[in-house]
Amino acid sequence: MFRALRFSTRIATLVAAALFIEVPLYAQPVTPAPVVAAPVAASVVAASATTMAPVPYAVGEELVFRATFGVLPAGSARMRVEGIETVRGRAAYHVVFAVDGGIPFFRVHDRYESWIDVQTLSSLRHKQVISEGRYHRNTTYEIFPERSEYQKNDEAPQPSVSDPLDDGSFIYAVRAAGIRAGETRRDDRYFQPDRNPVVLTGLREDTVTVGAGTFATTVVRPSIKTSGIFSENGDAQVWFSNDGQRIPVLVKTRFAKFSLTLNLQSVTSGSVALR
């Protein structure tokens, strides 16, 4: 029983890690996924008066994934652009990543939130709400690009980097940048300096079929200084659609002699492209 509980916790942790530090690339679906239009939020209209960096996503976009650990189902994960909010006087995208899964009597409900400056695409705030069985943890990072510092909860400020990115904002920043097959990029913007650099390598182009449809994609290998699934010694690969949205449609990796797969099931596009 206790082995099963530990196994379930490891699954949830891997799913969270797999969708954080992701690398969406240029891609075009061969067979488009079902798309549901989201309503135009008032915050989008208000933010349109601000000079905003070009991005391949919009408020209301939601990506839903099915996770499997080996042959075992491991739950679902969702990425969503909730809206545009104000953080310390700056307009910021509010993006949410949620994981739900587990086994009977041991459920996992994890929620990760990031606030991304609409002009610089730097991270301003990152929040983690973890609920895994009897384990619960709430952590908030306030991130200050203007002084290259971050603060965890009520602890003393720590040194950061210029133009910082947290786990969630990194996903969307790389989507905006794009990586092509044969290209390698080194990034030192992760807000905790000892995790840098993050290395992104475009491996090849590929056509792949997932729950959401068939997509022409670029396959990217991400590598970061961590012991997780994207470690420097690992072999993680992410398939990103080649259309203007650059959506991550498939993730495959091996971790501790097991395989983890994240398969895109549905796409809800935002109603307004913010460019």
Pick from 226, 17, 230, 222: nearest CA to 130: 17
pTM for the model: 0.77
What is the DSSP secondary-structure string of 159-208?
A: E--SS-B-HHHHHHHHHHH---TT-EEEE--BSSGGGPPEEEEEEEEEEE
Give the whole-angstrom CA distance, residue 262 versus residue 259.
Answer: 10
- State the first-to-last Cα distance of the chain, in angstroms, to the nearest integer: 51
23 vs 269, higher pLDDT? 269
Q: Are 62 and 51 in contact (CB under 8 A)?
A: no
Owner of token pair 């949205």 = 245
Q: Is the pLDDT of residue 7 over 50?
A: no
pLDDT in tens, 199-257: 888 999 999 999 999 999 999 888 777 655 555 555 788 899 999 999 999 988 776 66
SS3 4: helix
User: Does the bond joining 197 to the residue before it have cis omega, within 30 degrees of 0?
Assistant: yes
Could you read off the pLDDT of 257-274 as tens digits, one per residue?
Answer: 667 788 999 999 987 544
Instruction: Decide which of 42 and 197 is more confident.
Output: 197
Q: What is the pLDDT of residue 211?
A: 96
Query: Given this model, what pLDDT does residue 200 score?
Result: 87
Helix (H) or strand (E) holding 47: helix 42-47
What's the pLDDT score for residue 104? 67
Least confident of 35-39, 56-60, 76-80, 241-245: 35-39
pLDDT higher than 80, residue 32: no
Q: What is the Cα–Cα distance from 3 to 9, expressed in whole angstroms?
A: 10
